[in-house]
Structure 1
């Protein structure tokens, strides 16, 4: 049998040898190509689409997507498993961004899929589109534009830094006790935001470091949100029905957040009631009338105990806590890695500190200097350092839109009605053709230009290129407040303390819609000798 088979194949041996050699060379080439570029090109597999590529790269998803976008000209299309009819267009091209967010804004709403992903905020301006969104944004703009509220928020932030953050850090410095950067920033901004929203200080930033279960629940919303973004809706909805996996954790988070809102509202009602009856003891604890809740509590469009008011208050808490609370750890990490930036910020602060020297606000040692929002408003290098942090580490790493009608992007890519559009803010800050060959370096100077008088001024960068505060009709309404808070906190810490990140740690983003730090990044602080 074997002899007969050999004799039958003998005439074809040269051809078989050549064919085998060609196949071997092709396989070797493919293996080499895959090993060299597998991180750059996702495989849109038959039947299962992009899902295996995403799963295989979950450990470094943001950088993986960045490499893919850089290799594919800043945009690519992909599919989910065939049964889901899931189609994705992923981009960080500024021309596409301007088209999506401004030029053809009405064709790219957030869509009902986005609203389902963040159902904890159902009905609030963060998740809705069209006229309802415009009406809510108009009300929000009037609230956040009220000079009395802005002044109250500025005062609360200033006081929390002076009486809470700096004493805590000074205590840690005296004992050389390491602090977890992300946890500290989150606690600080949870308190500051709750004071703005409810007029009540939860006291998360205190020496006994109370449980942060409410803040942890907010983190869960963003972590499971990314999971919902990247898997077919039918998958996570099935898990929700079965109450398993991430959906079980999310359901518990929803309960915690709604409970927190109810508790805060009850505190406000109780304090207001006692305040109205003139109880001197309670009067001292009565909440400030200048808070966000007071603008909604008597509005007939927002039932005082209804789901919409809860959604709105949770939205404000998330927006206020996350923008600043996520940026601060990356800011101080980058400063620790770049001492020359610390020097530049202190050089800018020095003339103000000198003027304050005789009458500086003190925490008991006569050396602590605080800087008011009026002090920090004109400081361009400090703002450049903060914007550089936001460029590389935007709090919201992705934006999602839905296509209403078939369209062609400026990049030439066609999108069809029903497609999901994902915009990677993280990747946009790392594109060489947008920011130069040093795009991955932390360099605040890229934000500065020289004015006609020889002084530095902030360089204008359009919002479709720097998307940290959104762009177009949905531009962040609280940008001015976030910048004020960032400057107040940053100036106080940089001037009064040295921050040192402990060596031997892996510093990377958490797998979440929110670009928080992963792995409990630890730092030490020491009182600066001024």
Structure 2
């Protein structure tokens, strides 16, 4: 999924005002006051399409709707026919083509893929990823993708993922939730799942379990460093490039100081992992975690110890940043959807009980094996439905190498930036039908009771085209292992009155978390 191999942009149009220079702040204030003046004298507009003002562009409308940015974006694309040109102030370089039209997506991600790379701007903002696969373009990306595809596709790695996921759920997740249920206290389920997927991803990448999933909820320096880095990345999108680059060069400002400290912590952790593996492992043996596999077979063009270490460092950071948050976010929205749709939860529970009836009496009732999870059609459909409504990476960014014309008729100039709203795709009547806003797993099941296939340019949680997520099966293995065990063993009750809404972030986290109370089911062991 987006979490394990989505090589798309981790971008949000969120605008922070904490570390901007005075002239920039004054400009924003003037724009906001001007917009309020217009609204006062001319009333509430009948359209969600913002006015394109001289000099200010559509920026005042963006500021006015910033508090409901996701909903506003969905409404804007619905009213404009799924494609819209946003014009920002001339001094901010905020001109974008925003689209969720499946025909445009098929063109951008498949038909004319070569014309729409990540671009230099994306790589510069995400400099902490180095030269890794998720920000690379061209031949460098093709070499890394081929290597990753070979590793992830191995049967031994798939078995490793299944076993590691099962063990972490059985020995980490379930005991923690059991203890929370015993205490009778509320818990932030999003925090629990983010810790779970961090431990899982670290184990797959490094072969090391950080033990972040613990009842005392410890702070893990590496995890904290990654959070700080992502906050700094988001802020870089909110100010003129020259400003944040100057702060980066001189290490001034809270965000860039945090980025520098996070970079040091991430490099320290990875260096220790690499040194430990080189000290204790036999490079002639086949290893299962990704870092060991890369160490045993570094590409031919990586020569010298320094380049070799940089390659391993960049590869590890890319996998960790891609894998730790998105699967956790997906599980959080999945269980929130079940809390609002108890009928769907009951159907999953019945499916689990049917699987258990077919199991030998010697089986472990607390967890489900990979073969059993593969038979669960409704569980898979419910996960797909949650991903459709709440894609972990809500926005993709592309940059046009040359001029083009999209199927919608939109002209694309050289260097144009294109935002693809994955969140809006799943909420368009013309794409998913009039019930597109409903959580209905049945839409993914055929009349014969099998999973229904939908084209990737219509359902883009795992990207589309040549950069389709390589870790899709890894993500589903982890999500199914956790979801099946939790649904079978526990009943989750959302804390009444606790607000749940998307966070304006590069990942679709819940702004306030997901507070629940956990009850053991009577039928569970």
TM-score > 0.5, shorter chain as reference? yes
**Cα offsets for 1:446-466 (capped at 9, x unmatched):** 111112xxxx11111100010
Residue matched to 1:293: 291
Q: 2:135 aligns with which of 127, 134, 141?
A: 127
Give runs of aligned pairs for residues 21-420 of structure 1, distance below 5 A: 31-34=42-45, 36-37=46-47, 40-241=48-249, 243-272=252-281, 289-298=287-296, 299=298, 301-302=301-302, 306-356=309-359, 358-361=361-364, 368-420=365-417
Q: Residue 519 of structure 1 aligns with which residue?
A: 512
| Structure 2 Cα separation of the partners of residues 50 and 241 of structure 1 | 32
1:361-394 per-position Cα deviation (integer Å, ceiling 9, x unaligned):
1xxxxxx431111101121110110011111111
Displacement of 1:401 in angstroms is 0.4
Question: 1:425 maps to which residue?
Answer: 422
| Structure 2 gap ranges (5+) | 1-37
Classify 1:63/1:264 alpha carbon distance in 2 versus 1 (closer, same or farther; 3 Å).
farther
Contact 2:277–2:292 at 8 Å: present in 1 too?
no
Please state how far the C-alpha of 1:312 moved relative to its aligned partner.
1.0
1:33-60 deviation digits (Å, cap 9, x = unpaired): 42x43xx223333223344433443332
501, 504, 508: which is aligned to 1:508? 501
Instruction: Tell me if structure 1 keeps the 8 A contact 2:115–2:402.
Output: yes
Select between 297-306 and 247-256 the one with higher mean Cα deviation: 297-306
> Which structure has more RCO (C-alpha within 8 Å, separation ≥ 6)?
2
1:415-461 superposed Cα distances (whole Å, 9 cap, x missing partner): 1001111101111111111112221221111111112xxxx111111
CA contact (8 A) 1:117 1:225 kept: yes
- Tell me if the contact between 2:165 and 2:477 (Cα under 8 Å) persists in the aligned partners: no
Gaps of 5+ in 1: 1-26, 277-286, 362-367
Q: Is the 8 A contact 1:95 1:411 kept in 2?
A: yes
Q: From the superposition, tell whether residues 255 and 388 of structure 1 become closer, same or farther in structure 2 (CA, over 3 Å).
A: same
Give the paired residue count.
480
Higher Cα Rg, which structure: 1
Contact 1:102 1:472 in 2 (8 A): yes
Higher helix content, 1 or 2? 1
Separation (CA, whole Å) in 1 of partners of 2:182 and 2:360: 23
C-alpha spacing 1:62/1:312, structure 2 compared with 1 (3 Å): same
Structure 2 residue matching 1:82: 3-state secondary structure: coil
TM-score under structure 2 normalisation? 0.86
Query: CA separation of 1:88/1:234 partners in 2, compared to 1, >3 Å: closer, same or farther?
Result: farther
Q: Distance in 1 between matches of 2:468 and 2:183?
A: 44
**Any idea what the Cα deviations from partners look like across 1:230-261, whole Å, max 9, x if unmatched?**
54433433443452253333333323322222
Q: 1:334 to 1:357 in 2, by over 3 A?
A: farther
Deviations 1:332-351 (A, max 9, x none): 11111111011111111112
TM-score normalised by L of structure 1: 0.85
RMSD over equivalenced CA pairs, Å: 2.3
